[in-house]
Structure 1
Amino acid sequence: MAKHIYCRHSIELEVPFFDVDAMYIVWHGHYVKYLEVARCAFLSAIGYDYNEMGRQGFSWPVVQMNLKYVKPARFGQHIRVEAAVVEIESCLRIDYTISDSESGAKLTKASTTQVAVSLENGEMQFQTPESWLSAVQRHPTFEAV
């Protein structure tokens, strides 16, 4: 059974020189940064960025991350980072695909899981806050289950 995708968001980036190694391929640790840039763009698009999370009384730490490198990204390459939101009720789980912008060739698959933690008492929330659910439902591509 295929996963339900609540919404999608994507960004385009050009691989900068300072992200590559001596062979002009992206050092593996920089892919995490690309995921963060895509996630921040999605959160800004729904009006629920990290500042808003704090105003709502929550932090959202990453509790799990998985990456599978398929092909290397290279200096100067234009890449697309697509974020597919696959869980919103018990956590924020996003599946990512990084691909070559021109050919569409898949470079990396990844996922991150974040949970809401109360800033007041430091307790993990086992259901995501209503403020989060309302925000994600405003994304233009949102589809309920």
Structure 2
Amino acid sequence: MRAEVEIDIPFHDVDSMDVVWHGHYLKYFEVARCQLLDQFGYNYQQMKASGYAWPIIESYVRYAHGIVFAQRIKVVAILKEWENRLKIDYQIYDLQTRKRLTRGYTTQVAVDMTTRELCYVSPAILLEKLQQWPAFQDTSGQVTHD
């Protein structure tokens, strides 16, 4: 249950030493996260239409190796938890060497947009969308919990 995106690092993402500014790593995570959400049919517009917001309540980034201007990277987003929250792990690789450069995660929770209350269990719509996603099913058709 994963998505991958490739990104060419633009000049406007780097600092005076041609290294990506640390805040942009979360942007790269978001690009991969949006791809992942699109794959199972519950992107941010669909979340809003279903009556829920999914704010990020926690993020973590481990900067193992700097990313530089014009470098080509692959960002992988992997859905790890979904019952009570969305926890997505990320890994960033150099496309040429395949060396892992960065890892991290984000955690999101559902908030009912009508009441503005936090949901302590993921809404049924999320589970319905996941169960329709082929990547969520193992070969026997049973729901898997990665």
Instruction: Return the TM-score normalized by structure 2.
Output: 0.91
RMSD: 1.1
Q: CA deviation at 1:140?
A: 3.6
Amino acid at match of 1:46: F
Distance 2:101 2:120 in 1: 33
Q: CA deviation at 1:76?
A: 0.7
Q: Which has the higher contact order (CA 8 A, sep 6+)?
A: 1
Amino acid at match of 1:113: T
Determine if the alignment matches structure 1 residue 132 to structure 2 residue 122.
Answer: no
Determine what percentage of the aligned residue pairs are the same residue. Answer: 41
Determine if the alignment matches structure 1 residue 14 to structure 2 residue 8.
Answer: yes
1:104 maps to which residue?
98
Q: CA deviation at 1:23?
A: 1.0
Q: CA deviation at 1:107?
A: 0.8
- The DSSP-based 3-state class of the residue aligned with 1:22 is coil
2:114 maps to which residue?
120
- The DSSP-based 3-state class of the residue aligned with 1:97 is strand
Amino acid at match of 2:43: D
Greater shift, 36-45 or 88-97, is seen at 36-45
Determine if the alignment matches structure 1 residue 87 to structure 2 residue 101.
Answer: no
Distance 1:136 1:37 in 2: 20
Greater shift, 62-71 or 132-141, is seen at 132-141
Q: CA deviation at 1:95?
A: 0.5
Instruction: Return the TM-score normalized by structure 1.
Output: 0.92
